[in-house]
Amino acid sequence: MFLVTAMSYLLTLANHRELEVLNSNLHAQVEGNQVSFTYSGLSNDALSDAYPLFQCSFDCESSAVLLGDGFQMLAQTSGTVAHPIDIGRCPDNSTSYRIYSHQARKRYYNYLLVEDSLGYTLYGFTSCYRFAGYFEISEQQGKPVITAYLDGEYTCPQDWETNQLESVVVLSATSLSCLLREYAERITGHHFPRSGVKQTAPIGWCSWYAYYADVTEQDILDNVEHMNHELDKLEWVLLDDGYQAFMGDWLTPSDKFPSGVKALIQDIRRRGKKPAIWLAPFIAQPESQVFQNHPDWFVRQPDGSLLKAEDVTYGGWRCTPWYILDTSNPDVQEHLTTVVRTMREEWGVELFKLDANYWGTLKGRRWQSGVTGVQAYRMGMAAIAQGAGDAWLLGCNAPMWPSLGLVDAMRVSDDVERDPRRFEQIAKETFFRSWQHRQLWQIDPDCATLVSLPNQATERQYYEFHRNVLLACGGLLLSGDPLPELTSFAKTSLAKLMIRHKHTQEAARFTALGLNHAFLKLTDRNDLHCLFNYQQSARDVVLTADHPVYWYDYWSGEKLCEEPVQIMEIPLQAGLSSRAIITA
C-alpha cells in the first residue's frame, strides 16, 4: 500500500485501518482507533506549519460527499473531493483571512467526514492543546491518500514545556449520529467540557441585531421594559458591542451610556433579568488606554515591531487597526482576570460573550518563547475563566478546536442578517456543527431575527425558514429584534420556540449530510420532523412513525390527517423552504 522509508513506519488501528507514520522522530501510542503522538527526536529543528503525522489510503467513491471543518468559526467545507464548496463567506484560505495560501491544497482543519454508499468515515483530531491539526487529500502513485498535519508554528522542541503533541482518530459507521457521538466522546476524553454544557440554554434578548454599534443606554432600558407579560420568559439581556469607549478598554463606557455600564447592569438585575456582556478580550485599538499604557503587552513581528491584525489576516470589522494582546505574558493574564472579575463580582455580569477570539491565536513573537498561538490563546482563556467564576463563557468568531474545554457555549455560524441567502448559509453552518451541542459546548445558532428593519428586510417565507432552523438546532435562543417593534408573528414564533426548549434541550439529528430531514424526540408522545429545501425543486417527503399517529403542522397546529396513520407525505415548495411537523 505505502512505500515505507527509513523515516516512516506502519500502525494498524482496531478497525484494521493502516496508517503510515511519516517521521521516525514521532512516537505513536495506539488506543483502539485513536493515535496519540509524542515528539521523541533529538533534533531541535523547528516544526513547520505543515508537519506531517501520518498518511493513509483514501478509499471512497468519486461521488462521496465531504464535510470538513475550518480553523475558525466562519470556515467550513462541503462538496466532493474534486469540487469542494466553501459554506461560509470567509474560508481560512480567503484573501482576507490568509491562514494559508489560496493557491495551496485545500485544508480540512479539525476533522474530515466522508459520506458514501457504504456509510461514513471520519478522520478527526481529538485534542488541540498546542497545535492546530488538519488533513489534506492528494494523489500518490495514481491513488488518493489523506495526510494528517500539525501546524507546528515553527516552534523548536527545546523551547517546549512538553513533547506531547496531539491525538487523532479514524472512525467508521453506518449511522451518522452514532459516528459523531463516538467522536465527541473521544474529544471530551481530552478536553473535559465546562459545567454550562449540560445546563439549560439561556433564553433572552441581544442588542446587536437591533441597534448594532449605535446602541445606547436608553435602547437597553426600553427593551428590558418590554421583557414582561408574554415576553417575561426572555430571561437574559446581552449588551453587545457599542457600550465601550474603545476596543480594549472594557471597563470604560462610551458617552452613549451616561449612567455607566455598571449601573445599567445592576438596573437589569433589579428588574429580575440576568445581565450578559460582550467583549473582544484579545484585541485593542490604538486609541485605547490599555494599548497606550502597555505597548509591551502586545504581540510583535519577528523584527520587534508591533503586529497589527491586518498584517497577517483580516484586520477586523471596526475600530481598526487591531493589536493583539500577548496572553503568554503573566501581566496580560492578570489584566484579563481582573477585567472579567470586576464585571462578574462588582457589576454582576452572569454571561460573557467573548468575540474576535480567533485573533488571540495569531502567530507572532511573544513574551514566552516556544508558545504557539493556540497555546497562548488557551492561556488567555484560562485567565478569563479564572475571573468569570461561575458565569457563562460564550465563544464567538473563535478558533474552533483551540477552544475545546474552554467555553460553555459556542457560536457556530456567521452573523445573522434578514436576508434569505444568509439564512440559508447559517442554517448549513449550524446544522453541520449541531452534533457538538451539549457534547463539546452548547451551540449558539445566532439570534432570532423575525422583524424587518428599514435597511434590512425580507419576506415572511424566509423568516419562517429561519425559525425552523432555530427549532431544529436548539441551543441558545436570543431575540435579535427591537422588542418594542415585535409583530404578532415574531411573538408567536418566539413563544413556540420557547415551548420547544422547555420540552427538550437537545438538537434534532440529521440522517445524512444533505441536511434535508432532522428528527427530534420532543416528548415521550411527540416526535418533531424538520424538513428543509435549499434552492431545490419542489418535492414530497415521506415521514414514518413507529405506530399510527396524528400529524400536525408545528406552527399553525393544523391537523394533516383525518385518522392516525403511520406514513405521512409532506410537500416542500421549490427554492428555500421548510416545514416543521409534529406527531401526537
Percent of the chain topping pLDDT 70: 99
User: Cell numbers 491565536 label which residue?
Assistant: 361
Angle at 575 between CA 574 and CA 576, to 5 degrees: 125
Distance CA 468, CA 508 (A): 11
* pLDDT tens digit sequence for 511-534: 999 999 999 999 999 999 999 999
Q: What is the mean pLDDT of residues 395-409?
A: 99
Number of neighbouring beta carbons within 10 Å of residue 482 = 18
**Which of 376, 377, 379, 370 is closest to 160 using CA atoms?**
370
pLDDT given at position 469? 99
Asked whether the predicted pLDDT for residue 484 surpasses 80, the reply is yes
Contact status, residue 357 vs residue 399, Cβ threshold 8 Å? yes
N-term to C-term CA, the chain: 54
* Domains in the chain, CATH or no CATH each: 9-188 (no CATH), 201-410 (3.20.20.70), 517-583 (2.60.40.1180)
CA count, 13 A, side-chain hemisphere, 351: 27
Asked whether the predicted pLDDT for residue 6 surpasses 80, the reply is no
* pLDDT tens digit sequence for 89-101: 999 999 999 999 9
Please tell me the total number of residues recorded for the chain in this structure: 584
Asked whether the predicted pLDDT for residue 3 surpasses 60, the reply is no
User: Cell numbers 485545500 label which residue?
Assistant: 106
pLDDT given at position 62? 86
Q: Please spell the DSSP secondary structure of 527-561, one letter per residue.
A: EEEEEEEEEE--EEEEEEEEEEE-EEETTT--B--
82 secondary structure, DSSP code: S
Asked whether the predicted pLDDT for residue 1 surpasses 70, the reply is no
Contact status, residue 467 vs residue 500, Cβ threshold 8 Å? no
Question: For all residues of the chain together, what is the average pLDDT?
Answer: 97
Q: What DSSP element (H or E) covers 483?
A: none
**Which of 242, 324, 227 is closest to 278 using CA atoms?**
242
> Which three cell numbers mark 464?
419562517
Distance CA 213, CA 552 (A): 42
Distance CA 245, CA 120 (A): 50
Distance CA 90, CA 95 (A): 9
pLDDT given at position 5? 54
Q: What is the mean pLDDT of residues 301-321?
A: 98
Asked whether the predicted pLDDT for residue 2 surpasses 80, the reply is no
> Which three cell numbers mark 399?
478558533
* pLDDT tens digit sequence for 211-264: 999 999 999 999 999 998 889 999 999 999 999 999 999 999 999 999 999 999
Contact status, residue 224 vs residue 237, Cβ threshold 8 Å? yes
* pLDDT tens digit sequence for 11-25: 999 999 999 999 999
> Which three cell numbers mark 386?
479564572
* pLDDT tens digit sequence for 188-215: 999 999 999 999 999 999 999 999 999 9
- List of E strands, 199-282: 203-206, 236-239, 274-279
> Which three cell numbers mark 520?
427530534
Contact status, residue 23 vs residue 39, Cβ threshold 8 Å? no
Distance CA 345, CA 407 (A): 19
pLDDT given at position 25? 95
Distance CA 327, CA 335 (A): 10
